[in-house]
Chain A
Amino acid sequence: MTENILNVNKVSLSFGGVAALKNVSFQVEEHKILAIIGPNGAGKSSLLNVVNGVYKPQKGQVIFKGKTWKNVVPYEAARSGIARTFQNIALFKGMSVLDNILTGRNLKMRAGLLSQAIYLGKCQREETNHRKAVEQIIDFLQIQHIRKTPVGRLPYGLQKRVELARALAAEPELLLLDEPMAGMNVEEKEDMSRFILDVNEEYGTSVILIEHDMGVVMDISDKVVVLDYGKKIGEGTPEEIRNNQEVIDAYLGVAR
């Protein structure tokens, strides 16, 4: 039996008078891919922000790996094994691809300030070891040819891939992907879907995915949660969601 890695329990979040999330609950099973879909402004990104501690919900709890979170900040979320990518690419523009991904491993680096200033010895060994780990991710995502390029110079699709690489560098147990395929062409979407499935399979990482492309969502996710105006209006396997009348009315629509 698989366990739930994440339990989101009756979470409500509002900004002033605007309720972004109303009493939302769902679970993520270990090693599974969960997709969150819904119209724009439905609260999908807010939900991710609650999960990794950027927003604090007014009501409800988030239980990650059996631990209920109290006043979690992003730092603690990252340390307990949650990584994410952003809807608008949030790479470090002035740095190379390699440095961006290495930054993703910052929590695993131990050398102190003085040791880093002297560099030789402990710090150098550490840098080299982490470089090895990063190179594996670079191989995995097939971005070897751009490893020394400043990310600002890369095309959009590759930037998205680098962002995924940075998230993977932390070796997360739960990966939050906020529209990883937005603005991509079909080929890039196929690549990205393949990478997400590979990550899920090879590393056993659980994934929460926000995506608008229904084809992709139905293909790769194990479970789908539908949000509309901050409320959960549907949950189930892709097949169930496809036939859920409420979801069709709110979001999917009907082919005429």
Chain B
Amino acid sequence: MFYRESGQLKTSYQEDQALLSITQDRIGLLLILIGAFVLIPLLASDYWFTAILIPFLVFSLAALGLNLLTGYAGQLSLGTAAFMAVGAFAAYNFELRVPGLPVLVSFILAGITTAIVGIAFGIPSLRIRGFYLAVATLAAQFFIPWLLVKVGWFTNYSSSGVITTQPVEIFGYVFDSPVERYLLVLAIVSVLALLAKNLVRSNIGRAWMAVRDMDVAAEVIGIKIMRTKLIAFGVSSFYCGVAGALYAYVYLGSVEPDGFNLDLSFRILFMVIIGGIGSIMGSFFGAAFITLLPIFLDIIINDGAALLNLKLAAGITSVMQLLVFGGLIIFFLIVEPLGLARLWQITKEKLRLWPFPH
């Protein structure tokens, strides 16, 4: 009803190419931003910040990074967690070894370091693709955590391999309360998401999609396949690296290399698949689905049992949670293989025409 574009005439190509060309979208985004930056900090509790919102944002960023690579450029990767580890440990070492380096700068440097590592592990993509490439990126997944444990320098010779991150201090102000950390992550993620959106709607984004959809044709119209793929690995790894740094500094506070395991890589891959391959917004949907759903299921199962006066055996809640969770993933993939982002898009298209079917 309210989502109509009738009467909104565009008079220039610039208007037509705007990020949000429909007024309602602009209002919607503004409301979301006000909600995220103003309302949630006023309303949410510390538990919500530390256990739900911060991890959701960090995983969104990681999923966004993987989505650029897998969804847009079509290069399957199973090394996301390893790239996050590179980001986390790079930020740690920059902070440790360069006294007085602003923490935001070391996040950026961590991203750049990860981009370089990502490009190195992206080189096999020039010869192999699909599942074979996925297996090649597994090399990163096993090699990098091993290296971080093996070479003590990376963990500053901590005997257990665990590092405790330095305080997050920007211009002498220490971000340590949950709400401050939340706002910091939110700001970083918002800016990076905007940059990613800009990338995918300009030349490099089209080149990525061209390589994904039909690489021979892409080459024939003058796209350098090698360069395009490596840029995709670089940019994607940059995002994963920053996500890793945030994961360590803002979410957990102390991490070890073995925490960045294949499980985490798969989790992020699932976020991309469920959220929507080749969609910036889908990365957020997927991260929300994977991080929030188990918590809601937990609440529902426990409350439901209490309501029915059932006494659940210890551990059964988590088993039931996994069962329902797995079932829902399958359900969503059957209903919409292109993910939640596609469902959202269909809803918008329907709303535009409502109440008419066509």
Q: Footprint of B on A, CB under 8 Å? A: 52, 54, 73-75, 77-79, 83-84, 86, 90-95, 99, 102-104, 106-107, 109, 111, 113, 116-119, 123-124, 127-128, 131-132, 135, 166-167, 170
Contacts and interface: CB of A to CB of B under 8 A. Distances in A.
Contacts of A116: 198-199, 202-205
Interface size class of B (residues with CB under 8 A): 20 to 34
Given A77-B220, A92-B214, A124-B14, 6 more contacts: A74-B222, A95-B206, A104-B221, A113-B235, A118-B195, A128-B13
B180 to A, nearest CB: 27
B129 to A, nearest CB: 16
Contacts, number: 106
A27 B241 CA distance: 54
Contacts of A93: 213-214
A127 B220 contact: no
A79 B206 contact: no
Contacts of A54: 216, 219-220
Is the contact region of chain A dominated by helix, strand, or loop, or is it mixed? helix
B213 A95 contact: yes
A135 B13 contact: yes
B223 interface: yes
Contact of B220 (A52, A92, A128): A52
A52 B198 CA distance: 32
Is the contact region of chain B dominated by helix, strand, or loop, or is it mixed? helix
B26 interface: no
B220 A74 contact: yes
Nearest to A152: B213
Given A79-B222, A90-B217, A128 B14 contact: yes
Interface of B: 12-14, 16-17, 195-196, 198-199, 201-207, 209-210, 212-214, 216-224, 231, 235, 278
Contacts of A118: 195, 198
A167 B220 CA distance: 10
A77 B199 CA distance: 27
Contacts of B221: 78, 83, 103-104, 106-107, 166-167, 170
B222 A117 contact: no
B206 A94 contact: no
Contacts of A113: 199, 204, 231, 235
Contact of A131 (B13, B196, B206, B210): B13
A77 B204 CA distance: 20
Nearest to A169: B221
A52 B196 CA distance: 34
Contacts of B216: 54, 86, 90
Contacts of A123: 198, 202
B80 to A, nearest CB: 21
B17 A128 contact: yes
A66 B256 CA distance: 62
